[in-house]
Structure 1
Amino acid sequence: MRKLLNTLYVRTQGSYLRKEGETIVVEQESRKVLQLPIHTVGGIVAFGNVLCSPFLLGFCTEKDISISFLTEFGRFLASVHGPVRGNVLLRRAQYRQADNEEITQKYATNFVAAKIANSRIVILRTLRDHKSKVNSVLLKNAATQLSQCLKQLEEISTTEETRGIEGAAAAAYFSIFNHLIIEQKGDFQFHERSRRPPLDEVNALLSFTYTLLAHDMRSALETVGLDPSVGFLHRDRPGRPGLALDLMEELRPVIADRLVLSLINRRQLDKKDFRRAENGAITMSDDARKTLLAEYQNRKQTEIYHPYIKESIPIGLLFFVQANLLARCIRGDIEGYPPFFWR
């Protein structure tokens, strides 16, 4: 089993990262503020004006450590990683299968089925834990709609139909997402999903957390030798990690959505942690991003039971387990891709 390592998030503007021996050094205003052994780091995410020395970039690629560069507010810019890992035959098989509509539809359906099922569990757990504080009728109706979407998946035959059902399920889920917010309802209102830019505090949290998921999923796919750009559910688009987005679908409700709801409902963030830009976009304060990143790292350490491998693992290893299962399926070692169903 792969060891779960920490991700280094660098948020302070003007920071400079460099190599020193077998360590990563973070400097601010020419002053060393952090030094970490390379073997304790699983990835680096740099926000905004953060520079890396060429020697550190080369060092990280040799050690199979991905570096992602984001804007200060969390929009993905670029990533740096080493030479392609894994057997070239695996990627060739991936490309052939991505061009086969019948195979593509099967993968896409599995991704979407797990996403819908896990979204339904998020709703049902809220009903169970906060029954007296929520509109039970609305949440039960939404859960029923998601169950119907799952049944519809059993009857479709094309990837386009799968995408249509995924869209309908997402609409049903997000239509009641505001009702999953139990505390601070006056300050945190969610009406619909808005991405570029996020137009409310909840969307700002979701978008930022989804970016973190994309980094971790992309790194996991590269580790097992798959091409994160060539997906099955998401169409090919230059610069878009389609396969990483595919595998993210089943993990969004479990990791990202529940994290965002927890931060709000536990009052770890409040209205003053956000500000509105002139274009209407909502952005988080530095302290808010720091809190989210810390809780995201903590959440990755939490144990969760995986029904397919039949053991409990840290949530942070889900990325690598699912990437490895997909690679095994593409190679023909197992029959059918087993997505992660939350229990």
Structure 2
Amino acid sequence: MTAIYMTEPGTCLKVKHHYFQVFHQNKLCLQVHSSQVSKITLFGNCHLQPNAASLAQSLAIPVLFLDNQGNYLGRLQLESLHPAKYFPQQIKRAQNPNFPKTIAESIVRAYLHNCGIVLLRLSANHSTPKAEIAMEMLDLLIDDLPMADSIHALREYSTTAASLYYQAITELLAKAFNFQCTCRPHSHSINSVLRLGNALLNHTIYGFVQSAGLNPNFGNLHFYCQDELSLIEDFAVEFRPFLVDELVANLAISQILTPDDFTRPSQQDAISLYPATLKKFIKHWEEKLQTEVTHLYAGKLSYRRCLAWQVQEYIAYLLGDVEFYRPMLLKWDTDTAISPVSNQPTEQRILVKV
């Protein structure tokens, strides 16, 4: 399968004989059969012709629109003649208050745990006071988590953890991005990449959730939020620390991303990534998804397959095939982050380079 990313302003996606065609300045840059496309992402001033939108919609190919700051602009609504396969079970299970709370507690526990592992990794060579405090507090929050008697309380635990965690991340990145000298614009640069990573993560999860037959609007931890894709947000909580935060942090620390990769802010425009920087980040994002790790319950899997696994794990709990939902938990050992998987036969990635 192929993931199409369109980054250059003026790029247009067309269709001819069931082939998606990417054009830039009237030049054909990419052509791939529609049956081989898994998702489409358009940045900024890129265009989707009506026939391409119709074909993507008919094949249930997720299409995401982002601006050059990584902000969500919209999503092509996938039409369906039938409701999601498991939507009746989602409604039925939600009528039992214990079901969404149990799921929510598992998700928050995984978030606290994974945040701690990411901080441990990032501070392995040079720790900071805030990172040490955050890791200690995350352990205490995990111990106290059974005291949370409602989903609202669980969300408060998550919010408290996020505050401590991101303060620690900021301190760890201070030297890499010279936060001390020009904190505001450079911290905004990092935030723009984090937003982009979060959007790409949600887009990837959306494809798995939609194809599995779940209603993405029916979540558990985020059920009472106004988020229209609350189930997507549920899954993203488990994966965001190591798929997005750790990736961005490592790119900054290793100077793969530098302040020169971002436009300078003005009164009219916010900080954004240059098209070449977008391509660079997308390349590392796709490599991250291919990275193989040891899943606690499934063995060696790529991160992409871990996402698919968790969706199926959720369905198993939804149907009562398992006693509880087992979230994605990172391991801290030398096997945790090994090189990207090679020779993957199941999914090909094509990045639009125009």
Q: Taking structure 1 as the reference length, what is the TM-score of the superposition?
A: 0.88
Q: Distance in 1 between matches of 2:80 and 2:96?
A: 24
Asked if the contact 1:273–1:285 (Cα under 8 Å) also holds between the matched residues in 2, the reply is yes
Kindly provide the CA deviation profile for residues 274-300 of structure 1, in whole angstroms up to 9, marking residues without a partner as x.
Answer: 221326843222222121111101111
Q: Check 1:202–1:240 CA distance in 2 against 1; reply closer, same or farther (3 A cut).
A: same
- 1:24 pairs with one of 20, 24, 29: 20
Does the residue aligned with 2:199 lie in a helix, a strand or coil? helix
In structure 2, the partner of 1:58 is: 54
Classify 1:185/1:238 alpha carbon distance in 2 versus 1 (closer, same or farther; 3 Å): closer
Amino acid at match of 1:72: N
Answer yes or no: is 1:312 the counterpart of 2:304: no
Q: Which residue in the other structure is 2:127 paired with?
A: 134
The answer for the alignment partner of 2:276 in structure 1 is 287
Q: Kindly tell me the number of residue pairs found equivalent between the two proteins.
A: 330
**Residue 211 of structure 1, CA deviation:** 0.8
CA deviations 1:43-81 (Å, max 9, x no partner) are 001112222233322322343321112223322222225
Aligned to 1:221: 209
Tell me how large the CA RMSD over aligned residues is.
2.6
Aligned to 2:348: none
Residue of structure 2 aligned with 1:162, choices 143, 147, 154 = 154
Pick which of 315-324 and 243-252 moved more.
Answer: 315-324
Q: Distance in 1 between matches of 2:112 and 2:217?
A: 23
Paired letter, 1:286? P
The answer to which structure, 1 or 2, has the higher relative contact order (CA under 8 A, 6+ apart) is 2
User: Are positions 1:268 and 2:256 aligned together?
Assistant: yes
Counterpart check, 1:184 vs 2:176: yes
Counterparts in 2 of 1:288 and 1:99: CA distance versus 1, 3 Å: farther
Give the structure 2 partner of residue 73 of structure 1: 69
The 1:334–1:23 alpha-carbon spacing in structure 2 relative to 1, beyond 3 Å, is: same
Which residue of structure 2 aligns with residue 153 of structure 1? Answer: 145
Task: State yes or no: 1:302 paired with 2:274.
Answer: no
Q: Which amino acid aligns with 1:302?
A: T
Q: Distance in 1 between matches of 2:294 and 2:35?
A: 27
Q: Which amino acid aligns with 1:147?
A: D
TM-score between the two structures when normalised by the length of structure 2: 0.85
Query: How far apart, CA to CA, are the structure 2 residues paired with 1:268 and 1:7?
Result: 23
Q: Is the Cα contact below 8 Å between 2:69 and 2:192 reproduced in 1?
A: no
2:194 is aligned with what amino acid? L
Greater Cα shift, 234-243 or 282-291: 234-243
Residue identity matched to 2:290: Q
Query: Mean Cα displacement is larger for which, 218-227 or 273-282?
Result: 273-282
Unaligned runs of 5+ in 2: 332-354
Shift of 1:255: 0.3
Are the equivalent residues in 2 in contact too, given 1:201–1:282 (CA < 8 A)?
yes
Q: CA deviation at 1:138?
A: 3.6
Deviation at 1:263, TM superposition (A): 1.1
CA distance in 1, matches of 2:287, 2:307: 15
- Superposition deviation, residue 336 in structure 1: 1.4
**Residues 279 and 99 from structure 1, CA distance in 2 versus in 1: closer, same or farther, beyond 3 angstroms?**
farther
In the superposition, relative to structure 1, how do residues 288 and 61 fare at CA in structure 2: closer, same or farther (>3 Å)?
same
Q: Does the 8 Å contact 2:68/2:272 carry over to 1?
A: no
How far 1:236 moved relative to its partner? 4.7
* One-letter code aligned to 2:113: A
For residues 258 and 94 of structure 1, do their structure 2 counterparts lie closer, same or farther at Cα, with a shift above 3 Å needed?
Answer: same
Aligned counterpart in structure 2 of residue 13 of structure 1, from 4, 9, 16: 9
* Separation (CA, whole Å) in 2 of partners of 1:107 and 1:189: 43
The answer (yes or no) to whether the contact 2:84–2:214 under 8 Å persists in 1 is: no
CA contact (8 A) 1:73 1:283 kept: yes
Letter in 1 for 2:279: K
- Kindly tell me: are residues 247 and 198 of structure 1, through their superposed partners in 2, closer, same or farther at Cα, counting changes over 3 Å? farther
CA contact (8 A) 2:222 2:234 kept: yes
| Aligned amino acid, residue 220 of structure 1 | F
Letter in 1 for 2:160: A
8 Å contact from structure 2 (residues 174, 180) kept in 1 = no
Deviates more, 1:290-299 or 1:48-57: 48-57
Secondary structure of 2:238's counterpart equals coil
One-letter code aligned to 2:205: M
**Residues 1:335 and 2:323 are matched in the alignment:** yes
Distance 1:88 1:11, change over 3 A: closer
Q: Which residue is 2:235 aligned to?
A: 247
Residue 325 of structure 1: aligned partner = 313
Aligned partner letter, 2:312: N
Distance 1:188 1:296 in 2: 28
